[in-house]
């Protein structure tokens, strides 16, 4: 019951297969199991014990992944941090989760409230002085604090056990087809849930992970897919949009992928259609860091369901419910909730937040959705983003889909606009890629939706405020609105 338990088998069965590749460097499976045990022994030697919480604020590298596996094998709880966060952001998270130590990049400023140690490129040589025969904990021990993206507000995250992580692996095998023959390109930060989980799944399964640490140009991503004969890649929508802006000839390597996986936030319907035509292996995977996978949509699903995020993944039950937690019939829009073996039990050290998001064994990710008669799930926006105009519920995702379909719109975000008369009006922010003025976009909306849903104003901006994963921070957009 450990996410590193298969490494010994791989060392025997396929010793010469690369497990990790970063540029000219590589680690073979014959060495991975030993390195992970040595990393665990090293962690014990500096005073850590099973159950301790350790922050990891490192750039993407082979050393980073070996360290993650060493923490897992030693029964030490991983607390992922973005190395780019400010010191205040890191200190807030470290304090909330009671970290005993934080492991940082050389030259980083140590936090005031937590001990720090630093690892460099010679980490694998440094741990080589330890024997690989240390006894480590067995059983279903805690693995990591699964933080949501961003650091605004109160830190939140459940403590995920090894069994819950392995349940997520099963979904990847059954629904996404991950296997030992795969060649995975890791090009999303390792501190992020999906960016970390998929490479670890590859190691468990015996596949090879190639590292392409961000930042990089989208052209480099396509070149890496071609050069390394990549079969699987995971991208967040922001990266996908940058790719889709490239000339068609540069996107040819994407057609060869067995799996082009998108997750992190929802794609627009037109983007899904483009990707379905571009890459037969395209899959949109709706998930959360707290609960793992919810649903998935593939190129094999009928075109009429392309506006959805697919049907539930293996072992997961999904419902849409009202504010009284009553199940809604097909077509009813309500709060999405789901349960399954990969779902967390509650937020660590935060009973108030747990009561808000966990109820009777169900996890509420905060999204609004609708299930149709065929079991396909449609996202309608965040529950907190819902606009209530004159007592009528308006879902930003519906308006964003209409705006996104306009040929002049590169990206868009819809927010509520405080109003004395109606409580809220609709405001839209757009990034343009062609010629258009706000009145053109409002007219496009008038022809496709009820009058009360049409944005009162459309604001053209050069870019959106985003978090580290590229998600739009709508609260910052709302703060820019003038008073009505």
Domain 386-478 - what CATH class? alpha beta
Residue 152 scores a pLDDT above 70: no
Closest CA to 193 of 164, 220, 222, 221: 164
Q: Are 230 and 254 in contact (CB under 8 A)?
A: no
146: its two tokens: 């699964």
CB-CB contact of 238 with 206 (8 Å): no
Q: Which residues pair with 415 in a beta bridge?
A: 427
7-194 is a CATH 3.40.50.980 domain: yes
- The Cα 240–Cα 481 span in angstroms is 29
Q: Give residue 377's pLDDT.
A: 97
Confidence of residue 468 (pLDDT cuts 50, 70, 90): low
pTM: 0.86
Alpha carbons 234 and 453: distance in angstroms, whole number: 34
Tokens at residue 155, please?
Answer: 């830190």
Angle at 289 between CA 292 and CA 77, to 5 degrees: 105
Tokens of 267: 């794609």
CATH class as words, domain 216-382: alpha beta
Longest distance between any two alpha carbons in the chain, whole Å: 72
Cα gap 399→392, rounded to integer Å: 15
At 153, the pLDDT band (50, 70, 90 cuts) reads low
Range(s) of the chain covered by CATH 3.40.50.980: 7-194
Average pLDDT, the chain: 92
Q: Are 6 and 173 in contact (CB under 8 A)?
A: no
pLDDT grade, residue 294 (50/70/90)?
A: very high
Q: What proportion of the chain, given as a percentage, has pLDDT over 70?
A: 99
Lowest mean pLDDT across 51-65, 389-403, 441-455: 389-403
Which pLDDT belongs to residue 67? Answer: 97
Q: Please state the rounded mean pLDDT for residues 50-64.
A: 97
Q: Is the pLDDT of residue 199 over 90?
A: yes
Instruction: Write out the residue limits of the CATH 3.40.50.12780 domain(s) in the chain.
Output: 216-382
- For the chain, residues classed under CATH 3.30.300.30 are 386-478
Q: Give the residue among 40, 193, 106 at the shortest CA–CA distance from 32.
A: 40
Are residues 342 and 353 in contact, defined by beta-carbon separation less than 8 angstroms?
no
Answer yes or no: is pLDDT of 151 > 50.
no
Rg (CA), the chain: 23
Sign of CA dihedral 91, 94, 98, 101: negative
- What tens digit of pLDDT does each residue of 229-268 get? 999 999 988 889 889 989 999 999 999 999 999 987 778 8
Q: How many CA atoms lie within 13 A of 318 on its CB side?
A: 31
Report the alpha-carbon distance of residue 317 to residue 188 in Å, rounded.
Answer: 28
Q: Which of 148-152, 155-159, 266-270 has the lowest mean pLDDT?
A: 148-152
- Angle, vertex CA 76, rays to CA 44 and CA 287, nearest 5: 155
Averaged pLDDT, 112-132: 92
């Amino acid at each position: 019951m450990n996410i590193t338990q298969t490494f010994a088998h791989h060392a025997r069965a396929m010793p010469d297969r690369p497990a990790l590749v970063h540029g000219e460097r590589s680690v073979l499976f014959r060495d991975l199991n030993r390195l992970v045990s040595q990393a665990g022994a090293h962690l014990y030697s500096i005073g850590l014990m099973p159950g301790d919480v350790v922050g990891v604020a490192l750039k993407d590298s082979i050393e980073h992944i070996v360290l993650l596996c060493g923490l897992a094998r030693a029964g030490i709880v991983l607390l992922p941090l973005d190395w780019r966060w400010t010191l205040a952001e890191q200190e807030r998270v470290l304090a909330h989760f009671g970290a005993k130590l934080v492991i940082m990049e050389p030259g980083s400023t140590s936090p005031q409230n937590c001990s720090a140690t630093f690892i460099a490129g010679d980490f694998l040589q440094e741990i080589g002085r330890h024997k690989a025969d240390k006894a480590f904990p067995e059983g279903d021990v805690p693995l990591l604090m699964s933080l949501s993206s961003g650091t605004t507000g109160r830190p939140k995250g459940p403590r995920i056990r090894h069994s819950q992580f392995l349940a997520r692996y099963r979904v990847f095998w059954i629904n996404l087809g991950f296997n030992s023959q795969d060649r995975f390109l890791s090009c999303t930060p390792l501190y992020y849930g999906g960016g970390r989980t998929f490479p670890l799944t590859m190691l468990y399964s015996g596949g090879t992970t190639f590292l392409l640490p961000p930042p990089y140009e989208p052209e480099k991503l396509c070149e890496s897919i071609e050069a390394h004969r990549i079969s699987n890649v995971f991208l967040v929508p922001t990266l996908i949009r940058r790719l889709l802006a490239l000339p068609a000839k540069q996107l040819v390597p994407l057609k060869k992928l067995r799996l082009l996986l998108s997750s992190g936030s929802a794609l627009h319907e037109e983007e899904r259609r483009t990707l379905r035509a571009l890459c037969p292996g395209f899959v949109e995977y709706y998930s959360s860091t707290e609960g793992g996978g919810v649903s998935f949509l593939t190129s094999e699903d009928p075109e009429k369901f392309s506006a959805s995020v697919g049907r539930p993944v293996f072992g997961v039950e999904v419902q849409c419910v009202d504010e009284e937690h009553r199940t809604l019939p097909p077509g009813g829009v309500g709060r999405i909730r789901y349960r399954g073996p990969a779902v967390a039990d509650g937020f660590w050290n935060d009973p108030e937040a747990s009561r808000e998001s966990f109820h009777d064994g169900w996890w509420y990710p905060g999204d609004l959705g609708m299930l149709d008669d065929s079991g396909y799930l449609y996202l309608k926006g965040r529950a907190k983003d819902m606009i209530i105009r004159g007592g009528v519920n308006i879902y930003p995702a519906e308006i964003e889909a209409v705006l996104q379909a306009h040929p002049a719109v590169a990206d868009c975000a819809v927010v509520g606009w405080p109003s004395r008369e109606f409580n809220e009006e609709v405001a839209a922010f757009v990034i343009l890629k062609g010629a258009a003025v706000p009145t053109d976009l409002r007219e496009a909306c008038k022809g496709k939706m009820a009058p009360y849903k049409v944005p009162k104003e459309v604001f053209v901006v050069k870019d959106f405020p985003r978090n580290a994963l590229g998600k739009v921070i709508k609260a910052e957009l709302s703060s820019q609105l003038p008073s009505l």
